[in-house]
Amino acid sequence: MTAPPAPRGAIVVPDSWEQWRHCIEVDCRLALTPAFVAERRAELADASHFRTRQFIALYGDAHRLNVLAWFQRAAAQGGAGT
């Protein structure tokens, strides 16, 4: 069984801070709390972590580094995505 296609105009893989924030906070309905941000930063910073290896296999290491930078930016803003 395959996943349904993304809606027309949907961003499948964000490539900017604004797109990523929208993906996290609106599409996924996740709050960028300090705890969530810290957990994701630690995991993505560890290239040997099982889920990080899966992420790299799906999206590539360059995208992992972008996402890690966006989580670092969120952390610098107190965990919030503002």
Report pLDDT digits (tens) over 10-21: 657 999 999 999
Which run of H or E residues covers position 66?
Answer: helix 61-76
* Distance from the Cα of residue 58 to its chain's centroid: 13
Residue 9 lies in a domain: no
Question: Does a structural domain hold residue 58?
Answer: yes
Residue 72 lies in a domain: yes
Contact by Cβ (8 Å): 43, 49: yes
pLDDT grade, residue 4 (50/70/90)? Answer: low
Task: Confirm whether 16 is domain-assigned.
Answer: no
Kindly indicate the confidence band of residue 1, based on its pLDDT and cuts at 50, 70 and 90.
low
- Domain of 60 in residue numbering reads as 32-82
Full-model pTM: 0.81
pLDDT digits (tens, 9 = 90+) for 15-51: 999 999 999 999 999 999 999 999 999 999 999 999 9
User: Is 66 in contact with 13 (CB distance < 8 Å)?
Assistant: no
> Angle at CA 73, nearest 5°, toward 22 and 30?
35
**Domains held by the chain: number:** 1
Within-domain flag for 52: yes
Residue 5 resides in a domain: no
